[in-house]
A and B are shown apart, each in its own frame.
Chain A
Amino acid sequence: MAASPSDDWPLFEVFIRSRSGLEHKHVGSLHAADARMAVEHARDVYTRRQEGVSIWVVRSTDIIASDPEEADALFEPARDKVYRHPTFYSIPDEVKNL
């Protein structure tokens, strides 16, 4: 039986900007021979109902991700810094516009 496409075609991650003014958001992945084909496939797979005005594709192997096992250590430094939030500060009620 003939080999199937993904033997040769790399995996791309797809990001879509749903409308102008919003950021691109990850929507899924697909296989394509090259980046241009990946954009064309992304159009057909992920925007059949006008879900996007712009598409980014990136080779999945080019994404560097943080390790979920290390998430605790990675994000721990922010945990005890409540003073980074406005609600940490008590201001008398009669002071306005703060």
Chain B
Amino acid sequence: MYTQALDSLGKECEPGEGADEARLEARFQSRVDADEKIEPKDWMPEAYRQTLIRQISQHAHSEIVGMLPEGNWISRAPTLRRKAVLIAKVQDEGGHGMYLYSAAETLGISRAEMLQQLLTGAAKYSSIFNYPTLTWADVGAIGWLVDGAAIMNQIPICRCSYGPYARAMVRICKEESFHQRQGFEIMLSLARGTSAQHEMAQDALNRWWWPSLMMFGPSDAQSRHTEQSMRWKIKRFTNDELRQKFIDITAPQAAFLGLSIPDPHLSWDEGSGHFRFGAIDWSEFQAVLKGNGPCNRERLEARRKANDEGAWVREAAAAYALKQRARASAHASAEAVTAARAQSAATQGEHS
């Protein structure tokens, strides 16, 4: 669900050295220009590979860490229906992480290495998951806003030039729609409920609105690598274009809910056909990315704990698989011996 434009290319993109490299790059670019998909074993520039590894693994990590804030509410969901829905949603996020790790692996990085990068804090994940889920309304706000922003980001990636990433994204986007709708439904129930419930929904919107806008990444003026990513068709729209689109569709939804968006500068601009909005506090975004959001340490701690506490299960499964293989091969060689004996007995029988 939760890709975020973190604006990072793997390496500075130096043009390839040598005539051969230049020829391959030219051919690669012309394939991308012709909207052909690039597949794992095809030649690709090293910087393209590194950019994708970083983007896809960050995306995968975001899915996995994204299970935590919502998982927090599974045991306290207000009804059995809400609980079943939330479990299914969190399970989907886990599945999305798996699709994406599997897509990243086709680029030559191992899953172990990616997990290690997450657990050591070397890899980034979407800043949005470093905010806490304080009330049940936050579960609604996450579905409506965070998944909504994620969908906006992800739909263009379904047409990404790298085949395995594009295919994973098609699958993810199909599943994502329910996430956003269930979130809106929660918001609607609360907004139409008691005044305390309405207030809870408003409070959740107040806290999630700006972090959701930050999910689209730094403004285009600050985004140094957008141009290269667009040329490679990893990215199809700029951060600001997607953010604007998100605001344009979300503002009327908030009005329908009877909730107010916490931005005094938000207003409809007839001339441009878009909503104008206030300045985003990018210092907050940078602080969260650097590890100083409200929950950064807690999130990583939870991942490490899960990894450590699950170690014995993985070891047991590996030992069991090893034992089964040993048994199967012992059984096979015993059968071979029996067959050879039978064969030799039969041959002797013929001769006697």
The interface of chain A, by Cβ under 8 A from chain B, is 1-9, 11, 28-31, 33-34, 37, 44-46, 48-49, 65, 67-69
B115 touches A6 (CB 8 A): yes
Residues of B within 8 A of A31 (CB): 111
Q: What is the bound-complex CA distance between A9 and B304, given in angstroms?
A: 19
Minimum CB distance partner of B116 in chain A: A4
Q: Does B119 contact A (CB under 8 A)?
A: yes
- In the assembled complex, the CB of B318 is this many whole angstroms from the nearest CB of chain A, namely 4
Knowing that A28-B99, A45-B95 touch, tell me 14 more A-B residue pairs with CB under 8 angstroms: A1-B116, A1-B304, A2-B311, A4-B111, A4-B112, A5-B314, A9-B314, A9-B318, A33-B318, A34-B321, A34-B325, A37-B317, A67-B41, A68-B39
Number of contacting residues on B, CB 8 A? 34
B307 touches A48 (CB 8 A): no
B304 touches A6 (CB 8 A): no
Would you call the interface of chain B mostly helix, strand, loop, or mixed?
Answer: helix
Q: What is the bound-complex CA distance between A52 and B337, given in angstroms?
A: 41
- In the assembled complex, the CB of B164 is this many whole angstroms from the nearest CB of chain A, namely 8
Residues of B within 8 A of A67 (CB): 41
Interface membership of chain B positions 323-341, coded 1 if the CB is closer than 8 angstroms to chain A and 0 otherwise? 0110000000000000000
Query: B221-266: which residues lie under 8 A (CB-CB) from chain A?
Result: none
Q: What is the bound-complex CA distance between A9 and B318, given in angstroms?
A: 7
The interface of chain B, by Cβ under 8 A from chain A, is 39, 41-43, 88, 91-92, 95, 98-99, 102-103, 105, 110-112, 115-116, 119-120, 167-168, 175, 304, 307-308, 311, 314, 317-318, 320-321, 324-325
4 residue pairs, one from A and one from B, having the closest CB atoms: A6-B111, A34-B321, A33-B317, A33-B321
Partner of B175, one of A1, A3, A9, A49: A49
Residues of A within 8 A of B318 (CB): 8-9, 33
- Given contacts A3-B112, A29-B105, A48-B91, whether A34 and B324 have CB atoms under 8 Å apart is yes
- In the assembled complex, the CB of A70 is this many whole angstroms from the nearest CB of chain B, namely 11
B102 touches A30 (CB 8 A): yes
Q: What is the bound-complex CA distance between A5 and B92, given in angstroms?
A: 20
B320 touches A1 (CB 8 A): no
Minimum CB distance partner of B319 in chain A: A33
- Given contacts A28-B168, A45-B99, whether A4 and B324 have CB atoms under 8 Å apart is no
- Given contacts A2-B308, A68-B41, whether A28 and B317 have CB atoms under 8 Å apart is no
A4 touches B105 (CB 8 A): no
Residues of A within 8 A of B317 (CB): 9, 33-34, 37
Q: What is the bound-complex CA distance between A31 and B105, given in angstroms?
A: 11
Minimum CB distance partner of A14 in chain B: B102
Q: What is the bound-complex CA distance between A8 and B98, given in angstroms?
A: 17
Minimum CB distance partner of A7 in chain B: B112
Residues of B within 8 A of A2 (CB): 307-308, 311
B119 touches A1 (CB 8 A): yes
- Given contacts A34-B324, A68-B42, whether A11 and B95 have CB atoms under 8 Å apart is no
